[in-house]
C-alpha cells in the first residue's frame, strides 16, 4: 500500500464531494520494446499472455493505495509570501472548488490570499482521500456508459446525448492539446476508488 497525491480540477472535486465520481482515467505511460528482458521490472503487463504488440505499462497505482486529493486553494493573505513547504500545517485553507474553509479550530480567514494551484497543495491541506479498489489499463474509447457516469460527468451539464459523449468532451478539454484527444484513443489507466471526506492523516497525532 502506497500513499501518493492525485490532482483534480474544480468540477471533478465537486463530483467527488457529491458522490458522483468513483473512477478516474489518466494517460498511461507506454513503452515499446524490441523484446522483453526483465519481467521483474514491470508493474503491470497488459494483454493476452505477457505482451501485446510490444506494449507494456508502468502503472503508478495498485489496489489498496491511498490517494490524497490535491485541488486549487488559497489561505490567509498574511501568508501570501510563504511557500507551502514553509507552512506549519495549521494555516487556514479555502478550497476553490466550492469556497469552503478549513480553519483547524482557529478563527476564520479574514482576507483570502492569492490563488494557489492544485499541484502546490500540501498533504496536510487535503480534505479528500481515495482508496484504490481496482486498476485497469485499456484504450480510452473502451469506456462504457456506466464507467463514464462513474467518472462524474453529467450529460445534462457537459453536453449529451449520453454520459459517454459528455466524457469525450470533458476529456478533450483536458487532453486534446497534449496530443491525447479522444480520436487518438490513447492507452489509459482506469482507476476505481472509494472516497473519504477526510485528510489522509486524520486520526494521526501529526499531519505532514
Q: Would you place residue 47 in the very low, low, confident or very high pLDDT band (cuts 50, 70, 90)?
A: very low
Q: Which of 158, 177, 178 is nearest to 167 (CA)?
A: 158
Q: Would you place residue 49 in the very low, low, confident or very high pLDDT band (cuts 50, 70, 90)?
A: very low
Q: Which of 111, 110, 91, 112 is nearest to 102 (CA)?
A: 91
Cβ-proximal residues to 43 (8 Å cutoff; 6+ apart), any chain = 57, 58, 59, 60, 62
pTM (2 d.p.): 0.85
Under 8 Å between Cβ of 8 and 69: yes
Give the pLDDT of residue 197. Answer: 98
Give the pLDDT of residue 16. Answer: 98
Give the pLDDT of residue 168. Answer: 95
pLDDT at 182 over 90: yes
How many angstroms separate the Cα of 203 from the Cα of each of 28, 37, 198, 200, 207? 34, 45, 10, 9, 9
Lowest mean pLDDT among 1-15, 138-152, 156-170, 178-192: 156-170
Cell numbers linked to 84: 507551502
Q: How does the average pLDDT of the chain come out, rounded?
A: 87
Give the pLDDT of residue 30. Answer: 64
Burial tier of 27 (Cβ tally within 10 Å: 0-12, 13-18, 19+): middle
Give the pLDDT of residue 107. Answer: 85
Share of the chain above pLDDT 70, in %: 82
Q: Decide: helix, strand or coil at residue 132.
A: strand
Q: Would you place residue 44 in the very low, low, confident or very high pLDDT band (cuts 50, 70, 90)?
A: very low
Chain center to CA of 85? 21
Architecture (CATH level 2) of domain 3-67+128-195: Roll (2.30)
Q: Decide: helix, strand or coil at residue 208.
A: coil
Phi-psi sector, 169: left (phi>0), alpha (psi -120 to 50), beta: alpha
Q: Which of 133, 137, 138, 171 is nearest to 152 (CA)?
A: 171
Give the pLDDT of residue 38. Answer: 46
Of 43-52, 65-74, 154-163, the range with the highest mean pLDDT is 65-74
pLDDT tens string 117-170: 999 999 999 999 999 999 988 899 999 999 999 999 976 666 668 999 999 999
Cell numbers linked to 63: 489496489
Give the pLDDT of residue 98. Answer: 97
Please give the Cα distance from 25 to 45 (Å, whole number): 18
Q: Where are the domains of the chain?
A: 3-67+128-195, 73-122
Amino acid at each position: 500500500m502506497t500513499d501518493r497525491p492525485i490532482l483534480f480540477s474544480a468540477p471533478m472535486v465537486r463530483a467527488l464531494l457529491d458522490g458522483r465520481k468513483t473512477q478516474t482515467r489518466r494517460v498511461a505511460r507506454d513503452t515499446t520494446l524490441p523484446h522483453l528482458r526483465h519481467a521483474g521490472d514491470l508493474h503491470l503487463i497488459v494483454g493476452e499472455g505477457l505482451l501485446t504488440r510490444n506494449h507494456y505499462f508502468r502503472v503508478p497505482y495498485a489496489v489498496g493505495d491511498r490517494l490524497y486529493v490535491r485541488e486549487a486553494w488559497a489561505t490567509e493573505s498574511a501568508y501570501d509570501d510563504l511557500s507551502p513547504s514553509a507552512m506549519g500545517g495549521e494555516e487556514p485553507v479555502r478550497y476553490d472548488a466550492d469556497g469552503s474553509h478549513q480553519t483547524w479550530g482557529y478563527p476564520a480567514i479574514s482576507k483570502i490570499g492569492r490563488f494557489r494551484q492544485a499541484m502546490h497543495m500540501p498533504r496536510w491541506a487535503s480534505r479528500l482521500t481515495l482508496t484504490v479498489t481496482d486498476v485497469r489499463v485499456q484504450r480510452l474509447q473502451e469506456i462504457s456508459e456506466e464507467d463514464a457516469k462513474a467518472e462524474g460527468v453529467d450529460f445534462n451539464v457537459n453536453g449529451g446525448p449520453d454520459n459517454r459523449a459528455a466524457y469525450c468532451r470533458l476529456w478533450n478539454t483536458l487532453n486534446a492539446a497534449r496530443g491525447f484527444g479522444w480520436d487518438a484513443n490513447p492507452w489509459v489507466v482506469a482507476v476505481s476508488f472509494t472516497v473519504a471526506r477526510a485528510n489522509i492523516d486524520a486520526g494521526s497525532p501529526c499531519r505532514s
